[in-house]
A and B are shown apart, each in its own frame.
Chain A
Amino acid sequence: MATVASKLYSDDVSLLVLLLDTNPLFWSNTSTTFSQFLSHVLAFLNAVLGLNQLNQVVVIATGYCSCDYIYDSSLTLSGNSESGRTGMPALFASFLEKLEDFIVKDEELIKEQEHDERIASSLLSGSLSMALCYIQRVFRSGHLHPQPRILCLQGSPDGPEQYVAVMNSIFSAQRLMVPIDSCYIGTQNSAFLQQASYITGGVHHAPKQLDGLFQFLTTIFATDLHTRSFVQLPKPVGVDFRASCFCHKKTIDMGYVCSVCLSIFCEHHKKCSTCGSVFGQSKLDGASTVSEKKRKAPDS
């Protein structure tokens, strides 16, 4: 469980775990290229590392078929002696190499599998789970640790098959008191990221212009947890908590919930399609019994 940061490690030291979306199916369809995007992200990472000497950054790439750790600032203490790439600071040479290796491997895995072109979601649940395991390890290391938070830079749309896994990660982050910030750079709305930021107390923002991404990142997402109480951050507006029914996947206002497996249906059924339980007393609506109970104690 979360521990209060000791006074020896000042309040504004943070550990930022960045989940970078490298889904090629998304990046092939945007106006901004991936390399332009990376230049914004690298400048942002430098800014975070520059805010405090003890700040730490960990980058996990969210691919289409796999996820992996790309960079850990606590492991590269001194800069690399030579940088193979011209024009890039040596600090990030290993970052770029590993990222390129990861993307190449991811693309090979994509070719091995047949995929559906319609929904091209990346494996957000995988990278969230890995980030939480890493943060749990940081908590285990004793009282002297930076305050961790997670930042999701996501452009791919939500994959409904990951719903349960993403919600499990969100609840675990809530218990550990780790906020999940999210910066959504895609076109459609991401309900998963909005819910994640709302439930864990993080910040959600979807910038409209990707040219100014660095500005949004540094003004909104670079602040550490202690400073957030002094800064005006985008407030959560209109988080949609409605559920989607399991039969048609459309969002509903009112529905029927199976009492055994909690699957949601939009219309009345005789049998639950998930757990197979047959519903008895179909005319007994939960509301009528409950309202009778309520009438017995009008003053409570």
Chain B
Amino acid sequence: MSNQRKRPNGEREEDDEEDDAEGIGQWERAYVDDRSWEALQEDESGLLRPIDTSAIYHAQYRRRLRMLSAAAAGTRIQKGLIRYLYIVIDFSRAAAETDFRPSRMAIMAKHVEAFIREFFDQNPLSQIGLVSIKNGIAHTLTDLGGSPESHIQALMGKLEAAGDSSLQNALELVHEHLNQIPSYGHREVLILYSALSTSDPGDIMETIQKCKKSRLRCSVIGLSAEMFICKHLCQETGGLYSVAVDEVHLKDLLLEHAPPPPAIAEFAISNLIKMGFPQRAAEGSMAICSCHKEVKIGAGYTCPRCKARVCELPTECTICGLTLVSSPHLARSYHHLFPIAPFDEVPTLSSSNDPRRKLGKSCFGCQQSLLGAGNKPGPCVTCRKCKHYFCLDCDIYIHESLHNCPGCESTHRPKSVSLLEE
């Protein structure tokens, strides 16, 4: 992931220079906050054993799942799938602070890169743009586009911090850009704010009202402390405000914005978008590709309307403007619309529970034994619909990555069920 930053002996370049200056070695910094004695517990006979984190991890996961399903209970939840997101990064002098190692700026850039890749993975039809705030002025780093590489290159090219930060200028710029997008798209802004002040040319409250009227959903992730103006902005526009306490927390907060947020029905007008599904060009065919303006042989796609050649999907045809996607791109978002129900925990009853004994010997998904220590039934979960048993790790995998219940999929269903119902 950040392999290109590592030297052959495994140390990060920037860290090395800073550490030599401060007299603390790289290896020592890793242990500054390490309190490994806290990870040990005593068991009944006084012997030491490490904390069993899997049960804690699973409990956290289930809490999170319950919160999500409580929010979505009852109503058929609609999500904003076609998103136009602007990421605003604050490059004022506060971004050069070193409370995040090596500096806030470097950490922000690293995590924004990971976020961009994750975002396009989960929302293939959406577009991102980048804006930076430097010296009190907001600059557009990249326009709205769907290719992750161009954004990441533009971001990594300019990592310098200077001057004041101005929230109003950033909001004005983003507002201007997002007014031009089609009405079916959801407009979002994600602001990574490290400064503790904002120097604005006018009344920021007016700008906030303007954003609210244009249905711009602004979220802020703060890196230093909670600020009233950020909280007010997020409350008015319906976004999320959070402040990161350390690097890992920052990454988690950023990645929370990758899946589509619940859509508020009036925010975007639902519309039928004309899209093309191009065929892959035959091997060995030659054509001038419309994105690079040079002759290419073989792999590429042909726009069904104007027959121009494009290199990758999803994209917009440069000649006729038709949105070109392939069916897997649309299919990537279907699991947001048809989520599977969370599994129920099975209480560990006494051994007289016969049906549990018969069925619950091993996890249906991975065949791992569900018996805990001493042949007693260990913790497991069960699906409401197919009544199969699953181990805790399969539960997490199924709900976070797979989005299919193996038990329900392995049961034949009558053919009258439509394509989209699970």
* B18 located at the interface, meaning its Cβ lies under 8 Å from any Cβ of chain A in the complex: no
Q: Check A172/B402 contact, CB under 8 A, given A65-B412, A246-B419, A286-B273.
A: yes
Binds B, one of A202-210, A215-223, A233-241: A233-241
- Residue among A127, A160, A278, A279 with most chain B CB within 10 A: A279
Complex contact B316–A294 (CB within 8 A): yes
* B253 located at the interface, meaning its Cβ lies under 8 Å from any Cβ of chain A in the complex: no
Complex contact B328–A241 (CB within 8 A): yes
* A30 located at the interface, meaning its Cβ lies under 8 Å from any Cβ of chain B in the complex: no
- Residue among B125, B272, B413 with most chain A CB within 10 A: B272
Binds B, one of A43-51, A66-74, A85-93: A66-74
Task: Tally inter-chain residue pairs, CB-CB below 8 A.
Answer: 236
B314-341: which residues lie under 8 A (CB-CB) from chain A?
A: 316, 318, 320-323, 326-328, 330-335, 337-338
Q: Which chain B positions have C-beta within 8 A of A258?
A: 270, 272-273
B186 to chain A, nearest CB (A): 9
Q: Which chain B positions have C-beta within 8 A of A294?
A: 316, 318, 321
* B159 located at the interface, meaning its Cβ lies under 8 Å from any Cβ of chain A in the complex: no
Residue from A136, A161, A163 in contact with B393 in the complex, judged by beta carbons closer than 8 Å: A136
Complex contact A64–B394 (CB within 8 A): no
* A77 located at the interface, meaning its Cβ lies under 8 Å from any Cβ of chain B in the complex: no
B334 to chain A, nearest CB (A): 5
B124 to chain A, nearest CB (A): 10
Tell me what chain B mostly uses at the interface: helix, strand, loop, or mixed: loop
Complex contact B321–A64 (CB within 8 A): no
B338 to chain A, nearest CB (A): 6
What is the bound-complex CA distance between A169 and B408, given in angstroms?
14
B173-202: which residues lie under 8 A (CB-CB) from chain A?
A: 180-185
Q: Which chain B positions have C-beta within 8 A of A125?
A: 404, 409
Q: Which chain B positions have C-beta within 8 A of A252?
A: 277
* B285 located at the interface, meaning its Cβ lies under 8 Å from any Cβ of chain A in the complex: no
- Residue among B331, B398, B405 with most chain A CB within 10 A: B331
Q: Check A275/B78 contact, CB under 8 A, given A129-B409, A168-B403.
A: yes
Complex contact B305–A66 (CB within 8 A): no
A159 to chain B, nearest CB (A): 9
A281-296: which residues lie under 8 A (CB-CB) from chain B?
A: 281-282, 284-291, 293-294
What is the bound-complex CA distance between A195 and B329, given in angstroms?
12
What is the bound-complex CA distance between A45 and B363, given in angstroms?
25
Q: Check A286/B182 contact, CB under 8 A, given A258-B270, A265-B272.
A: yes
What is the bound-complex CA distance between A107 and B170, given in angstroms?
65
Q: Which chain A positions have C-beta within 8 A of B182?
A: 284, 286, 289-290
Complex contact A130–B415 (CB within 8 A): no
What is the bound-complex CA distance between A300 and B401, given in angstroms?
36
Binds A, one of B30-38, B107-115, B232-240, B364-372: B364-372
Chain A residues at the B interface, C-beta cutoff of 8 Å? 64-69, 72, 109, 113, 115-116, 119, 123, 125-127, 129-130, 132-134, 136-137, 140, 160-165, 167-172, 175-176, 195, 199, 235, 237-244, 246, 252-265, 268-269, 272, 274-275, 277-282, 284-291, 293-294, 297, 300
> 9 extra interchain contacts, Cβ-Cβ under 8 A, other than A68-B410, A262-B330, A286-B273?
A65-B412, A162-B409, A164-B335, A195-B328, A243-B277, A254-B275, A282-B272, A293-B181, A294-B316
